[in-house]
Amino acid sequence: MEGREPSTRPSRTTPASPRVNPALVKRPRFQTLARFWEGQDVLARWTDGLLYLGIIKKVDSAQETCLVRFEDNSQFSVLWKDIFPPAVPGKEQLCCVCNSQACTPDNKLVHCGKCKHAYHQECHVPSVPCDTDSAGSSWMCRQCVFAVATKRGGALKKGPFARSMLQMKLSLPYQLKSLEWDPLHLTNKQQCYCYCGGPGEWNMKMLQCCRCLQWFHEACTQCLSKPLLYGDRFYVYECSVCTRGPENAWRLPLGWVDVSHLVLYHLSICCKKKYFDFEREILSFVNENWESLLLGELTDTPRTDRYSHLLHALTAEKDRFTLCGRRRLKKKRRCCFDSRAGLLPS
């Protein structure tokens, strides 16, 4: 299993973690009842939308969180809604959402062929078709489809899992209108984002739908031609819920100032430092990732001309960029820049 990207980890300070209203997120009821225990192996959804294997070290019923130790020995507090335990032996005939075994002809129990959890047809999101074989092994629940299809750089686009994911994405596993947002619509108290309903960090690798304004993980989207850079908001994006079908994403035109700012912000997140050498780091990154930057009209710029365009953008925009201390422009090989106050590209 791939390690989590350090830049996307939340603060280790967890006492202020908000409590989640169970009505807003359709999660298995046994989790709401705090049926977690120390030493339990679980999958936990991270802020990048991906699932990671961990072991519960401590259960906090008051905050509705668990302290989870991951495979790299890091430990973080995770909300119950983002923790997925394996099926409990002896509970195969209980719906993992409503915790009931009662069935009707139109609302039978179906079992996921991968995780073995049972769901009432109407408890699962989206509802399970009536012709699904309740004892069959081919049907997969929403969580398992996302576990297989989500990837860094963008979810699967082809194959049966990609098609299943698209169908799952036509509906959200929570009530979007019930989320409590900050004034800028960047974060919500429930820490509930994307199609997966997991946590997220809007200023990392996420896209905001221009219609519903919800934020979506790169890993859960199926419309990107290239991986996102950190802080890359130069897209117009429409989610599957709003389009009632495949997502749409359009690249906005970028200028040289935008390119410089985007690269500096991305490097600052990846490298966790402030200043970057112009030739050795900034220019080198741009040249090595030229095709992935999707620069539109700038794409045809000769490699020999990129140096002057980038350097001019960095030195002319003093409100955005700062030149490192005493370094002088005449020593161009030693020019180091940063984006002022870590401002996001816009």
Domain finish residue from 225, 252, 279: 252
Phi, psi of 57 (to 5 degrees): -100, -30
Is 272 within the bounds of a domain?
yes
Is 244 within the bounds of a domain?
yes
Is 276 within the bounds of a domain?
yes
Are 230 and 172 part of one and the same domain? yes
Q: Higher-confidence residue: 12 or 182?
A: 182
Q: Higher-confidence residue: 133 or 65?
A: 65
Domain finish residue from 220, 252, 284: 252
The predicted pLDDT at position 135 comes to 59
Structure tokens at 8: 């996307």
Give the pTM: 0.86
Are 246 and 272 part of one and the same domain? no
Q: Which region holds residue 213: left if phi is over 0, alpha if psi is between -120 and 50, else beta? A: left
Is 320 within the bounds of a domain?
yes
**Residues 176-206: pLDDT tens digits?**
999 999 999 999 999 999 999 999 999 999 9
The predicted pLDDT at position 19 comes to 42
State what percent of residues in the chain have pLDDT above 90. 69
**Distance in angstroms (rounded) separating the CA atoms of residues 98 and 27:** 9
The predicted pLDDT at position 87 comes to 86
Q: How many domains does the chain have?
A: 3
Is 113 within the bounds of a domain?
no
Around Cβ 159, how many Cβ atoms within 10 Å?
11
Are 159 and 248 part of one and the same domain? yes
Are 74 and 41 part of one and the same domain? yes
Q: Is the distance from CB of 346 to CB of 332 less than 8 angstroms? A: no
Indicate whether 51 pLDDT > 60. yes
Domain finish residue from 201, 222, 252: 252
Radius of gyration of the CA atoms of the chain, in A = 23
Are 154 and 248 part of one and the same domain? yes
**Residues 282-324: pLDDT tens digits?**
999 999 999 999 999 999 999 999 999 999 999 888 878 887 7
The predicted pLDDT at position 345 comes to 79
For residue 324, what are the domain limits? 256-342
